[in-house]
Amino acid sequence: MTTTAAARGRSNRRKGIETERRVARYLNEHGWPKADRYVNNGYRTATRTAADPLDIRETPGLVWSVKYDASHRIAAWFAEVEDKAAAVGADLGVLVERRPGYANPGRWWAYITVADLHGLFAAAHGGTAQLYTSDAARALVCLELGALVLLLRAAGYGTTPAQENSPR
């Protein structure tokens, strides 16, 4: 059985949307109760361009891009995340890549820079982070999304467990 390019495109889009929804749901359950998949896409016409807003919204200070793609173009994808984070004034950008063989989004790969990881550790422990500008500080670090979420929450992002358990 052969598939058409259009059918492959629909299948890939469906998989991508489901992957974004699963990350949003994971974030809902782990500190960002309003996290949601951003359904608007960017577009380009002859006279106007609207940038793609990336994938997850309602996570203040953070920009997320979620990928389910075997090409593993991590550097290119992360450059897009950094551009969007700078454009919207976010503190940091996160690239999440669906990890083959793992159903739990907490086990999927999350990428941030060395400098951002250092800043999160410093914030989580009440310190301040030196601003790194070297090329080494821009290198990417890969960790599981679940571990990054714990670190983000310790650094003050999302809700605290006390806020989650308080009556509404």
Domain ranges across the chain? 5-39+54-162
Q: Write out pLDDT tens, residues 9-32.
A: 676 777 878 999 999 999 999 999
Q: pLDDT tens for residues 110-161?
A: 999 999 998 898 888 887 666 666 777 888 999 999 999 999 999 999 987 5
Do the Cβ atoms of 96 and 64 come closer than 8 Å? Answer: yes
Predicted pLDDT at 21: 93
168 has pLDDT over 70? no
**Distance from C-alpha of 149 to C-alpha of 108, rounded to nearest angstrom:** 12
Per-chain mean pLDDT for the chain: 85
Asked if the 5-39+54-162 domain carries CATH number 1.10.390, the reply is: no
For residue 9, what pLDDT is reported? 64
> Residues 28-64: pLDDT tens digits?
999 999 998 877 665 566 776 665 667 899 999 999 9
pLDDT in the model for residue 50: 61
**Predicted confidence band of residue 165 (pLDDT cuts 50, 70, 90):** low
Q: Which residues contact 106 (CB under 8 A, 6 or more apart)?
A: 26, 30, 144, 145, 146, 149
Concatenated DSSP letters for 81-108? HHHHHHHHT-SEEEEEEPPTT--SGGGS
